[in-house]
Amino acid sequence: MIDDPGTPTRARDPLRVVIAGGGVAALEALVALQGLAPGRIDVVLLSATDTFIYRPLLVGEPFGLGHPHRYDLANLCAGLGAELVLDTVTQVVPEAHAIQTASGTDIIYDVLLVAIGARPYPAFDNGVTFERQLSPEDFDDVLGDLTDGMAPRVAIVVPDGVSWSLPAYELALLTAAWAERAHPEATCVTLVTHEPAPLADFGPKVSAQIAELLEREHVVVRCGVHPDVVTPTALRVGGTWLEADRIVSLPLLAGPRLPGLPMDAQGLIPCDGLGHVDGVPDVYVAGDSGTFPIKQGGLAAQQAVAAVTDIAARTGADVEARATEPVLRAVLMTRTGPRYLRAELADVDGTSTFATEALWWPPSKIASRWLGPHLARLDVDRLHGATTADIDRGMA
């Protein structure tokens, strides 16, 4: 339902919640709202894209480890009783409880959840930026040149400012395994990162295990270094140059700079632990759009749950709103199978865990309370041609 811009704001029953975005945080919020406050909320999902792409699986794609799963948002919304609007939010008008969109429409909300992610951009002028969705061929060429023996030394870089470094570790490990098959003697993969220790956000136990793993897999790791210049064949690190035939960097992320909402210098939206946007009533933010320093899908989902629990509580649903107590969870793909990493950010040293068995269920790369199980059920549907209702009946 799209309102006339002149429609006055009023409290509605059911509450009208507009979720802007179609990624992890938006979909976690969508599924959670239907679970926490069924019948009490009308949900509109406003997304710039019609498909949800499971991005963590983009890393394995160039190595032939399958393609990321794609989910049709129209089907997802239909199954959850939500209205889908394919459009782009261009501005929030808090005093009118309205958002404006690229198509020129105004959409009224009682509550707005902004979950429009962040914008990747290259950290350096030279080398390859690992951006599978925009230019997949760039990294394919690196692997091709490695296979042909033209570029045996590859550096994978986590530039200053990149907070979620796991894809670089997977790239380094998978590239080393790939290179070993092609040219066992001649190749050298180096991981260059600003982190003080490998995957330092996960704490000391994980760092120690990852360091061992990298050594075993013949990946050279250089931690605590801050390359500031990258040429096509070298990185400047402090006063010295590290040479490589191909340099692959993770992208930096910029905030969405959404007019009408406060933002920090990077364009990210500031909020409290429940996702309330600073100084803007009835507007929440979750995921990479917010100022939380680590940009990760599992954390995006946790932030979405904190926000929608608060929203559900406003409708009288029997839930208690609680600020996020962030837990980092990750699955690291290696050639000898997945490794599961976990740490609670309030006590990283005491909770740092590394395991070869799953530490959560379903053991998906983006660990989430609501979306992960929902997608797992859709995957089962797809595999067996059954309906979700059939599966519900089977699980009851």
Strands 153-158 and 246-249 turn out to be: parallel
Nearer to ligand FAD, 49 or 388 (CB): 49
CB-based contact 213:166 (threshold 8 Å)? no
Q: Least distance to ligand FAD from the beta carbon of 102, Å?
A: 8
Q: Least distance to ligand FAD from the beta carbon of 119, Å?
A: 8
Q: Least distance to ligand FAD from the beta carbon of 256, Å?
A: 6
CB-based contact 225:238 (threshold 8 Å)? yes
CB-based contact 140:148 (threshold 8 Å)? no
Nearer to ligand FAD, 122 or 241 (CB): 122
d(CA 297, CA 68) in angstroms, rounded, equals 15
Q: Least distance to ligand FAD from the beta carbon of 252, Å?
A: 12
Q: Least distance to ligand FAD from the beta carbon of 170, Å?
A: 8
CA atoms within 13 A on the CB side of 1: 11
Return the DSSP state at 290.
B
Convert 287-299 to b/e letters by CB count within 10 Å (16 or more is b): bbbbebeebbbbb
Q: Least distance to ligand FAD from the beta carbon of 51, Å?
A: 8
Q: Find the residue with minimal CB distance to ligand FAD.
A: 23
Q: Least distance to ligand FAD from the beta carbon of 394, Å?
A: 29
d(CA 4, CA 170) in angstroms, rounded, equals 49
Say which residues have a Cβ less than 8 Å from residue 137's Cβ, sequence separation at least 6: none
Q: Least distance to ligand FAD from the beta carbon of 248, Å?
A: 12
Nearer to ligand FAD, 130 or 234 (CB): 130
Nearer to ligand FAD, 62 or 298 (CB): 298
d(CA 88, CA 48) in angstroms, rounded, equals 5
Residues 350, 356, 359: CA angle, nearest 5 degrees: 60
Return the DSSP state at 346.
G
d(CA 144, CA 63) in angstroms, rounded, equals 11
Nearer to ligand FAD, 42 or 170 (CB): 170
CA atoms within 13 A on the CB side of 377: 16
d(CA 12, CA 387) in angstroms, rounded, equals 33
Residue 116 CA: distances (Å) to CA of 90, 96, 354: 11, 21, 31
Nearer to ligand FAD, 187 or 368 (CB): 368
Residues that bind ligand FAD (CB under 6 A): 20-26, 46-49, 55-56, 58-59, 88-89, 115-117, 164, 166-167, 287-289, 295-298, 300, 330, 365-366
- Residue for token digits 């990294």? 139
d(CA 32, CA 371) in angstroms, rounded, equals 8
Nearer to ligand FAD, 44 or 235 (CB): 44
Nearer to ligand FAD, 159 or 287 (CB): 287
d(CA 321, CA 312) in angstroms, rounded, equals 8
Nearer to ligand FAD, 88 or 126 (CB): 88
Nearer to ligand FAD, 315 or 324 (CB): 324
Q: Least distance to ligand FAD from the beta carbon of 396, Å?
A: 30
In three-state secondary structure terms, 100 is strand
Q: Least distance to ligand FAD from the beta carbon of 381, Å?
A: 22
